[in-house]
Structure formats: C-alpha cells, structure tokens
Amino acid sequence: DAGVIQSPRHEVTEMGQEVTLRCKPISGHNSLFWYRQTMMRGLELLIYFNNNVPIDDSGMPEDRFSAKMPNASFSTLKIQPSEPRDSAVYFCASSLRGTVETQYFGPGTRLLVL
C-alpha cells in the first residue's frame, strides 16, 4: 500500500507569494493531520480533520494559513501571503481513527520562503 503522499517535496518561494501544499492520505483512513516542524518549536499540530471536517484548527498560526479537505483522498494547506518565518517542514499524517489509531506520516514538504 502507498503511504501518505505529499507534494511538492521541496518549495522555494519569495515572501508574499501564495504557497499550496498537498496531501493524499492512506486510502481508508478517515483522519488527517497537518504538522509543522522547525528547529525552534519542534513538531506542532496545525489542524486535524475527521471525516473531511476540521475538528481542531487551534494550531494554525494565523489567518494567513488555511486548510481544506474537499474529499477523503485529498487535503491542502495554503499560506497566503507567505513570510520567511513560515519556512519549515510541513508533514501530513493520517490514521484510521484519529483519537485511537496510529498516525502515519508522509515524507514532508520542505518550505523555504525568501
């Protein structure tokens, strides 16, 4: 089985540009998570979806960040406008049942905002 798929794997953009990160969860999983990892703050949960519905977005840094899950097999994390402090590795994870089952992580998107 394919694991969690993320694209792009690397993104370099200039401050002020819109950035869209994409995630395809493992087939059959109904929970999806977006995490961000930086040296300073480690791994942080940004948002959690269950059955395509956002359940907890308290980790989203500010209004510049938005996430959608239009269907069970696709999610996006958008940053508009991007800032240098958004530079980080963004991970998507999925699980069969978010509060119980194991979370499986994708390879991440390494974002650099110049």
Partner 1 sequence: DAKTTQPTSMDCAEGRAANLPCNHSTISGNEYVYWYRQIHSQGPQYIIHGLKNNETNEMASLIITEDRKSSTLILPHATLRDTAVYYCIVRGRGGSNYKLTFGKGTLLTVNP
60/106 with CB nearer partner 1 = 106
71/102 with CB nearer partner 1 = 102
Interacting residues toward partner 1 by CB under 8 A: 4, 31, 33, 42-43, 45, 48, 50, 55-56, 91, 93, 98-100, 102-108
Instruction: Kindly report each contact of residues 19-22 with a partner whose C-beta sits within 8 Å and lies 24 or more positions away, as own/partner.
Output: 19/78, 19/79, 19/80, 19/82, 19/86, 19/111, 19/113, 20/76, 20/77, 20/78, 21/76, 21/77, 21/78, 21/90, 21/92, 21/109, 21/111, 22/74, 22/75, 22/76
Nearest approach in angstroms of CB 16 to partner 1 is 28
